[in-house]
Amino acid sequence: MKLRGRGLLLLIALAALPAAAQAQTASSFGRFHALVIGNQNYRHLTKLQTPLADAKEVAEVLKTQYGFTVDLLLDKSRDEIKLALSELRKTMTDERDNLLIYYAGHGYLDKVTGTGYWQPVDAEKDNDVYWLPTDEISRLLKAIRARHVLIVADSCYSGSLLMRDSGARLPAAASRDEWLKRMQAKRSRTALTSGGEEPVADGGGSGHSVFAKALLEVLRENKEILDGDSLFDRIKRPVILNADQTPLYGDIKMTGHEMGDFLLVPKEIQESGGQQIANSAKTDLSFLQRGYGETAPKKGDQQERRIIGQYIDNGDGTVTDTKTGLM
């Protein structure tokens, strides 16, 4: 009965949304959802200083600047976190969906078995019954239908999630638009971690961890479509310079990764239907998918033109600048 009530409230809320907001949820970028977890006030382990502040701020930035719907979990037990993760399999059902999971809290690596763990607030020091193996998270990611999933983990030994350090780089001969098109088209399961198989700093970032501070600064300042690998490139140097830890970014092992990448798309770009991309494109507008912009028949034939900002995609491989008249 509780789930039904929540579903009814959701339908009412969607009906009340402005048309532009409803269109955004079904845009060519897909839906963006985040599960943000911050564990700080541990019952049996050492209490931490910054995960609550880190999680709250990350949630706010994702919601206000990138249009995510956010579930924020603060100081939750193993069962509560597992329930939230299980719900994702029910809600992330569209292959265009984008899911970001952020975790800040204690972590542990069993060096004998090679198993990594997230430690909820009810975790006990010498008993792993209330620990959450990262293997379980990996199995969940394989089952979720969302095309792109990014885990951002700010915890000790978080690098155990990764299969390998990311080797993806933008080829010199490829335009950025073409690169983003390729990354969006392929399924991705990647992780950005605050360190490798090592302890990481709690604090040192003016009320945040060093890693969270660098992440938040990049997210706040960014105005363009940002792929996961570029996000990693922007935060790794400030973290390395300010803490004895090395962030990593790469594929999550055994989850069905297909060499795509997660894209963070500012709300302004989503709401403009990609107009900012068109205005900045120099040679290739193919990243803009069908459905953006307005359409108008081209004189003399039945081809369609797509009007995107000051540009017209003539449908025959040429683009016209309406301000200069040049093709």
CB of 40 within 8 A of CB of 154? no
Q: Is 128 left (phi over 0), alpha (psi -120 to 50) or beta?
A: alpha
Are 171 and 244 members of one domain?
yes
Are 260 and 279 members of one domain?
no
Among 249, 260, 312, residue whose Cα is nearest residue 95: 260
pTM of the full structure: 0.73
- Residue located via tokens 């789930």: 3
Q: Is pLDDT above 60 for 163?
A: no
- Number of domains the chain is built from: 2
Considering 220, 235, 266, which residue would you say is the last residue of a domain? 266
Are 178 and 278 members of one domain?
no
Are 145 and 208 members of one domain?
yes
Q: What is the mean pLDDT of residues 140-152?
A: 91
Are 212 and 131 members of one domain?
yes
Are 104 and 213 members of one domain?
yes
Are 163 and 261 members of one domain?
yes
Helix H or strand E segment including 9 = helix 2-16
Helix H or strand E segment including 65 = helix 51-66
Specify if 12 maps to a domain: no
Domain span including residue 68? 31-266
Q: What is the pLDDT of residues 49-97, one digit of tens each?
A: 999 999 999 999 999 999 999 999 999 999 999 999 999 999 998 888 9
Residues of the chain above pLDDT 90, percent: 42
Question: Which pair of structure tokens corresponds to residue 248?
Answer: 């990593």
Specify if 16 maps to a domain: no
Q: How confident is the model at residue 203 (pLDDT cuts 50, 70, 90)?
A: low
